[in-house]
Amino acid sequence: MLSSEEILKIISTEIEKLNAPKAPEGLYLPIKYTLTLSGKRIRPLLTIAAFQMFDNRIHKAIPAALALELFHNFTLLHDDVMDNSPVRRGEPTVHKKWNENTAILSGDAMLIEAYKILAKSEPKYLPKLLDIFNKTALEVCEGQQYDMEFENRNDVQISEYLEMIRLKTSVLIAACLKIGAVLGNAEEEICEKLYDFGIEMGLAFQLQDDLLDTFGTEAQFGKRIGCDILEQKKTYLLLKAYETADEMQKQKLNTLFLGGNISEFDKIQGVTTIFNELKIKEKTMELIEQKHKNALSILNTLKIDEQKKQILYDFAEMLMNRQK
Amino acid sequence: MLSSEEILKIISTEIEKLNAPKAPEGLYLPIKYTLTLSGKRIRPLLTIAAFQMFDNRIHKAIPAALALELFHNFTLLHDDVMDNSPVRRGEPTVHKKWNENTAILSGDAMLIEAYKILAKSEPKYLPKLLDIFNKTALEVCEGQQYDMEFENRNDVQISEYLEMIRLKTSVLIAACLKIGAVLGNAEEEICEKLYDFGIEMGLAFQLQDDLLDTFGTEAQFGKRIGCDILEQKKTYLLLKAYETADEMQKQKLNTLFLGGNISEFDKIQGVTTIFNELKIKEKTMELIEQKHKNALSILNTLKIDEQKKQILYDFAEMLMNRQK
């Protein structure tokens, strides 16, 4: 069994290989640029981690692992255009560094490249892989659509938010695990359980992200703290705050968001103060803890060697304690 | 053997079936809208026409045929964003009717839908189909990239232009024929020849398009005549004009394109007059005729029943005589 570090090293080498120069540069350079920005590579790591629970010839899982990482990076590229985000992982986004047309077209090519690499998987698994991949990819688009629609709605429910992040974030993490297991020829039931484990972990991951955006430290999180507040993003934190706030707190929140004369600093401070009054941090951590527990109990019922599962326990633990 | 009309009827019914309502509407309605705009359905027609030369169980070719039509429509959707085109087939484009983000995201979903439908093809052909489909899809992106780059270049060569339209238009038409043949279990050599036939026909098709944009009639062509001239598009017509013009004609062309005070009508009139002086219409028709001849001679060497090939001869003939 390879350790996470060993797997990540292999992924890094393989991504390097993808980045050979191709013409026209205007199309392929932005793909290389996007792939080179230092991501966490969580998705291919999970694919290979799941695969090696059943088979140690990990070269068999590499095309699918890379395809999933490419797909993830494609979604970031296009999402950044749609959200008009200027920075990603500390560097200018493709539509800022080049232009919007480049971001659209290179993103399209990146999605096709993902399929191209996926198709290098063992032919007998292709129908199943495509089935999972296509379903997941469409769900991720659906999640992004809901996310954009929520911006213009003032009646988003917490249940809707959780469904949105399930689509936008969890299903891909779940698919990575399931695809790894499918390629490892695992039983159907095991594949499904790994998928369900991924859903719970994905939700915990995204909720953690929401939490760090307000309660993290800039040095560790790597992004400016309070962005979600400034953008009035309907995260779990904000929805929970509105759900539990009394009339005065609600009015304060509204004033902070609508008031034109409030500095960014004061806005972040003001909203965070109300979050603190309402114990939003604790409530979010509670929900994260619950998702984490759900994930672990699914993992516990998985009929595989405890030792083989260790990498997934470690992964769950790591996500729970992450500060970035 | 089904006639073109019979095949088109089947395609139309199948596309209808794809258009069942799905949530979120904001994502899926623009896909339905794009598919419903009356296209010529040339690509799925060619797939099924090629298939039925080898096998008459045409349901086997339908998923691939639909996937190719979806892919084509996806490229139109995203191209319209990149080119900022307000109208497509007489109707507002998706980014005008909705907005740019919708056009990007629904386009992405449409590309994924194309793969989803392709994956319904017989599993044993999937690796081969994906191979052709992915290669073609990337080439189409490359063609669009070159097309955009040419806008900002003043040294585009005719050979470069022909390579650009090969990528942007021909390879997809060629792939439609090849995929039909592959699904019909045709010999490798036959598949390749059909591909080559498609390349020549695709070039003839695009050159015809360029010609009609200047020399067609609005009523038949369905688009305003002279758009390429107004946009100073580096079509074969313009490149050939600059190649064969004397100094005075070159200067006249430059003045027409750069002169700020010239009305659109005068610009189209002026450039067309120079095209006429230089016999650009005749020269373009000569090149189209040559591509057509190449296509027919490939078709002639194809070792299949003459009767079975008839639909492709008819198709080539139809393209040669099209006014729209």
Coil/strand/helix, residue A310: helix
- The C-alpha atoms of residue B45 and residue B179 are separated, in whole angstroms, by 12
| Predicted pLDDT of residue A228 | 93
Is the ipTM higher than 0.90? The answer is yes
Closest by Cβ to B138, choosing from A107, A112, A137? A112
Structure tokens at B105: 């995201």
Q: Is the model's pLDDT at B259 over the cut of 80? A: no
pLDDT over 80 (residue A157) = yes
Cβ of A112 within 8 Å of Cβ of B141? The answer is: yes
pLDDT of residue A223: 77
Please compute the mean of the pLDDT values over residues B200-213 and round it to a whole number.
96
Tell me the chain A residues in contact with residue B81 when contact means C-beta distances shorter than 8 Å: 101, 104
Q: How far is CA B204 from CA B43, B95, B173, in A?
A: 15, 30, 11
The CA-to-CA distance between both ends of chain B, in Å, stands at: 27
In degrees and rounded to multiples of 5, residue A87 shows phi and psi of: -130, 140
Q: What is the pLDDT of residues A235-266, one digit of tens each?
A: 999 999 999 999 999 999 999 998 778 999 99
The answer on pLDDT for B92 being more than 80 is: yes
Mean pLDDT, chain B, integer: 95
Where do we find the tokens 């899809």? B137
Q: How confident is the model at residue B34 (pLDDT cuts 50, 70, 90)?
A: very high
- Chain B residues with CB under 8 Å of A145 CB are 24, 26-27, 105
User: Which residues share a beta bridge with A91?
Assistant: A88
Domains of chain A (ranges, CATH numbers): 1-186 (1.10.600.10), 187-324 (1.10.600.10)
Instruction: Tell me the pLDDT tens digit for each residue of B142-158.
Output: 999 999 999 999 999 99
Residue B220 reports pLDDT greater than 90: no
What are the CA-CA distances from residue A249 to residues A46, A140, A271 (Å)? 42, 34, 10
- Cα A123 to Cα A184: distance, rounded to the nearest angstrom: 14
Of A27, A112, A141, the CB nearest to B105: A141
pLDDT value at position A236?
98
Q: Which of A108, A131, A149 sits opposite B26 (nearest CB)?
A: A149
Residue pairs spanning A and B at CB distance below 8 A: 105
Which residues of B lie inside 8 Å of A (Cβ-Cβ)? Answer: 23-24, 26-27, 78, 81-82, 101, 104-105, 107-109, 111-113, 115-116, 119, 123, 126-127, 130-131, 134-135, 137-138, 141-142, 144-146, 148-149
Please compute the mean of the pLDDT values over residues A78-90 and round it to a whole number.
92
Cα(A167)–Cα(A173) distance, rounded to whole angstroms?
A: 10
Distances (CA, A) of B311 to A35, A95, B248: 46, 45, 47
Q: Decide if A126 and B131 are in contact by the 8 Å CB cutoff.
A: no
Render pLDDT for A274-309 as a digit per residue (tens, 0 to 9): 999 999 999 999 999 999 999 999 999 999 999 999
Give the least confident one: B39-43, B217-221, B232-236.
B217-221
Of B27, B126, B146, the CB nearest to A142: B27
Entry pTM: 0.96
Nearest 5°: the CA angle A173, A176, A182 is 145
- Phi/psi of residue A209, nearest 5 degrees: -60, -45
Q: Nearest to residue A82, comparing CAs of B78, B86, B26, B105?
A: B105
Closest Cα in chain A, distance from residue B267 (Å): 28
DSSP string for A194-227: HHHHHHHHHHHHHHHHHHHHHHS-HHHHSS-TTH
Average pLDDT, chain A: 95
| Local structure of residue A245 (DSSP, 8 states) | -
Residues of A with CB under 8 A from a CB of B: 23-24, 26-27, 78, 81-82, 101, 104-105, 107-109, 111-113, 115-116, 119, 123, 126-127, 130-131, 134-135, 137-138, 141-142, 144-146, 148-149
